[in-house]
Amino acid sequence: MGCRLRPLPVPSLVQSTSHPGLCAGFGSVVLQKALCYTDDTAMARALVQSLLAKEAFDEVDMAQRFAQEYRKDPDRGYGAGVITVFKKLLSPKCRDVYEPARAQFNGKGSYGNGGAMRVAGISLAYSSVQDVQKFARLSAQLTHASSLGYNGAILQALAVHLALQGESSSEHFLEQLLGHMEELEGDAQSVSDARELGMEDRPYSSRLKKIGELLDQDTVTREEVVSELGNGIAAFESVPTAIYCFLRCMAPDPEIPSAFNSLQRTLIYSISLGNGIAAFESVPTAIYCFLRCMAPDPEIPSAFNSLQRTLIYSISLGGDTDTIATMAGAIAGAYYGMDQVPESWQQSCEGYEETDVLAQSLHRVFQKCL
């Protein structure tokens, strides 16, 4: 389930996390003990390892790596539902790696944000929109069979894909995402799943439109972001919020020290927001965090760069903080690059060296696809 917090004022968040090497990451001091990653990173690494080992998407290999990663190190904050899936995948009786996820919740499947939180590697391995959509869906369906779950993974993957293209206009960024999602959410299964939960048709498209409205407002409270976009473990409540965090933190935020760059701002802001795990609650939130933090924020000190703003704002939303910040950070990282990640932040993270090697290998795979 990861880390769930109440929404936090950004100044309090910056103060409480101004640990040498982290929010004071522009300094040279590094934490003596690396900060442990959660299930988000564990599964993202397993996904990338599978892509590299097979040099393509292989559902059997990826499913086994997910399950084996859990068995090797189960104390990363995994949710009860996905643990059930992993145990079935590890059974010698398992013949169809998609069946355990399809059987969840009386055959309805999960609409959590687990598929979205780990999907960034797909966007880094495939260069075409068609491949990004296809393999984001297939990778998510290994654990999240509801369209509300895997559509959230597709939206997050598309956001990272567009960020890699260096799209500078938040309006155009949203327009492209909206065009893709309106088409994806128009199929019978997506409409049926949304209506069964009593939701409007095309819930992701609706939240993307709301992101545009929020970005047009001069002042937006965290409570309003959480109310309109969500901050939970549902994909449709978290992915749009992550995107908003990215766009919001492109510019400085008066609440986040100016020493933090745009990527750091995105992560800090996104962690300040959320509280649920449904994909439709968290993916839109992550997107909002990214877009919101493209520009300065009066609540985040100008010393923070766009990446730092995004992180600070994401964290300040509360709720499923690690996942919303993970998704917003993935978008911001793809957009801003490593230059905005302070060396001290890198050195303070568990497994950084191995992750850097994986990233370099994945980049070579991506270049082959061009």
Is 289 part of a structural domain of the chain?
yes
**Which of 183 and 235 is assigned the larger pLDDT?**
183
CATH number for the domain including 251? 1.10.4080.10
**What digits encode the pLDDT tens for the residues 169-189?**
899 999 999 999 999 999 999
pLDDT band per the 50, 70, 90 thresholds, residue 31: very low
Is 177 part of a structural domain of the chain?
yes
Number of domains in the chain: 1
**What digits encode the pLDDT tens for the residues 107-126?**
999 999 999 999 999 999 99
Beta strands of the chain (E only): which ranges? 4-5, 232-238, 272, 276-282, 316, 319-320
Cβ contact 307:270 at 8 Å = no
Separate counts of helices (H) and strands (E) for the chain: 21, 6
CA gap 280, 350 in Å, rounded = 29
CA gap 318, 281 in Å, rounded = 13
CA gap 273, 269 in Å, rounded = 7
**Which of 57 and 253 is assigned the larger pLDDT?**
57
**Which of 188 and 252 is assigned the larger pLDDT?**
188
Residue 194's φ and ψ, nearest 5 degrees, are -65, -45
CA gap 10, 275 in Å, rounded = 16
pLDDT band per the 50, 70, 90 thresholds, residue 249: confident
The reported pLDDT for the residue numbered 183 is 96
Q: Which residues contact 247 (CB under 8 A, 6 or more apart)?
A: 170, 173, 174, 211, 215, 287, 288, 289, 290, 291, 292, 293, 294
Neighbour count for residue 102 (Cβ, 10 Å): 15
**What digits encode the pLDDT tens for the residues 287-319?**
999 999 998 888 888 888 999 899 989 988 888
Is 182 part of a structural domain of the chain?
yes
Is 117 part of a structural domain of the chain?
yes
Cβ contact 248:294 at 8 Å = yes
The reported pLDDT for the residue numbered 68 is 98
Is 262 part of a structural domain of the chain?
yes
For residue 295, give its domain range: 8-17+38-197+207-369
Binding site residues for Mg(2+), as ranges?
38-40, 320, 322-323
Is 226 part of a structural domain of the chain?
yes
The reported pLDDT for the residue numbered 289 is 92
Q: What is the DSSP letter of 112?
A: B
When pLDDT is averaged across residues 215-239 and rounded to a whole number, the result is 82
The reported pLDDT for the residue numbered 223 is 85
pLDDT at 133 over 60: yes
**Which of 221 and 110 is assigned the larger pLDDT?**
110
**What digits encode the pLDDT tens for the residues 342-353?**
888 888 889 999
When pLDDT is averaged across residues 349-366 and rounded to a whole number, the result is 91
Is 29 part of a structural domain of the chain?
no
Binding site residues, as ranges?
38-40, 320, 322-323
Is 32 part of a structural domain of the chain?
no
